[in-house]
Amino acid sequence: LLRSARKRSPTAPRLPAAGVVHLWRVDLGVPPRQLERLRATLSPDELVRAVRYRAERDRRRFVAGRGALRDILARYTDVDPVRLRFRYGRAGKPELDGDVVAVRFNVSHCDDLALVAVTGRYSVGVDVERVRELPDLEGMAAIVLSERERSVLGGLAGARRVRAFFECWTRKEAFVKAVGDGLRMPVERIEVSLAPGAPPRLLRVAGDRRSAQRWTLRALAPGHGYVGALAVEGHGVRVSLRRWIG
Ligand SMILES: CC(C)(COP(=O)(O)OP(=O)(O)OC[C@H]1O[C@@H](n2cnc3c(N)ncnc32)[C@H](O)[C@@H]1OP(=O)(O)O)[C@@H](O)C(=O)NCCC(=O)NCCS
């Protein structure tokens, strides 16, 4: 009873205004006590998913990430974290179920870093990656980049080339996550800007400039050694950064 009687604190965030994205940065390396508190908010299906992770570290990251997500969404909805329910789209995109659907969100995590993007009612996608040497960058690029993107990448060398690849990749992923189809979409047909210093832009979706223009892409600098991107449907987007403490 006490839990469900939880009241919105005066400092609790309101739903982001039109065009505003709240971007929460979450450190998944939470101490054991906090981890147990977060675990207690997970649903049975989430707990089942958690135990399926073989490595303890992955289990911990999943529990911390879901728990933090529930905690963040609870602040916007005034619903207790335990009582929030998710439904899943055709390719697994989680959304809030029930009558609190006005809050849209998306999550990405890499190592101990998670990002949670929250909007009022606009489709949003977020992605974070650690910039790292790939054994076969060329091979990856051949699969996931368009011809135009490959030729821009071909003009770059060394660290700039690796970084440009990941910036490009996170932009594409943020977009397919916003749509909800994930990697079922033909990513090589989603074209984005990637030249160093070029503002992030969605240029074409399967050759179509028009539908690309409906979207805003933002580059994120989530931490040293990481790159990220945000895709939001609409224009005049403002990103407001928050840090989740729990
Ligand atoms: C969604 C997807 C792009 C995730 O990419 P990723 O870089 O590995 O992971 P990220 O950390 O960026 O995102 C994971 C989060 O995105 C969210 N998510 C899951 N499916 C999603 C989808 N279709 N669209 C948007 N977001 C999704 C979840 O919150 C997930 O967090 P969780 O694992 O803690 O539940 C990728 O897994 C995908 O395309 N899935 C589609 C389903 C599919 O076709 N699966 C077949 C795989 S063999």
Q: Would the pTM count as exceeding 0.85?
A: yes
**C-alpha closest to that of 86 among 52, 49, 54, 57:** 49
The pLDDT assigned to 125 comes to: 98
Q: Is the CB of 92 under 6 A from ligand 1?
A: yes
Reported as a single tens digit per residue, the pLDDT across 167-194 is: 999 999 999 999 999 888 899 999 999 9
Of 6-15, 202-211, 229-238, give the lowest mean pLDDT range: 6-15
Instruction: Tell me: pLDDT of 9 over 80.
Output: no
With the most atoms of ligand 1 within 8 angstroms of its CB, the residue from 95, 108, 126 to mutate is 108
Give the tokens for residue 188: 């090589």
119 pairs with which residues across the strands? 104
Reported as a single tens digit per residue, the pLDDT across 28-87 is: 999 999 999 999 999 999 999 999 999 999 999 999 999 999 999 999 998 999 999 999
User: Would you say how long the chain is, in residues?
Assistant: 246
Please say whether the beta carbons of 226 and 110 come within 8 A. Answer: yes
Nearest alpha carbon, ligand 1 atom 34: 62
CA distance 108 to 28: 12
